Amino acid sequence: MSIGTATFFFFLPFFLSLIAAVAFFYSKDEEGGR
């Protein structure tokens, strides 16, 4: 694996976790009612 690819994967979890948090922020409550 090249250093560039390794660096990409190394920082990937950081961005994925932020995307997950933002997606959670905008997610609808499945329960509804508010």
Partner 1 sequence: MSVFIFVVYLVMLVAIGYVTFRKTKSYDDFTLGGRSNNKWISALSTESTDMSSWLLLGLPGMAFTSGYGSIWLLIGLLFGTFFNWAVVAGKLRRITEYYHSITLMEFFENRLGDKSGVLATIAGLVIVVFMTVNSSAEVIGSGKLMTAAFGVSYRSGMYIGIAIALVYTFLGGFLAISWSNLVQGTLMIIALVLVPAAALSRVGGGSGLATSLLSQDKNLLSLFSGVTGFWPIVALITGGLGVGICYPGQPHVITTYMGMKDPKEVKASTVIAMIWVGVTCYGAVIIGMMGRSMFPTIEDPEQTFLLLAKALFSVKMIGFFAAAVMSALLSSLSAYLLTAAASFASGTYRRIAKVTDDRKLVVVQRVAIVVISAIAMLLSLQGGLVYKVALFATAGLGACFAPLVLFSLYSSRVNTKGAIWSMVVGMATVLLWWNLGLSKYVYEAVPGLIASTITLLVVSKLTGGPDKSVKETFLDFVSKDTHRKSLHMGGEARVNQ
Which residues sit at the interface with partner 1, rule CB under 8 A? 1, 3, 6-7, 9-11, 13-14, 16-18, 20-22, 24-25, 27, 31-34
Minimal distance in Å, beta carbon 23 to partner 1?
10
Minimal distance in Å, beta carbon 32 to partner 1?
8
CA distances from 31 to 6, 18, 24, 27 (A): 41, 24, 14, 12
Minimal distance in Å, beta carbon 3 to partner 1?
5
**The two three-digit tokens of residue 25, written as one number:** 């922020």
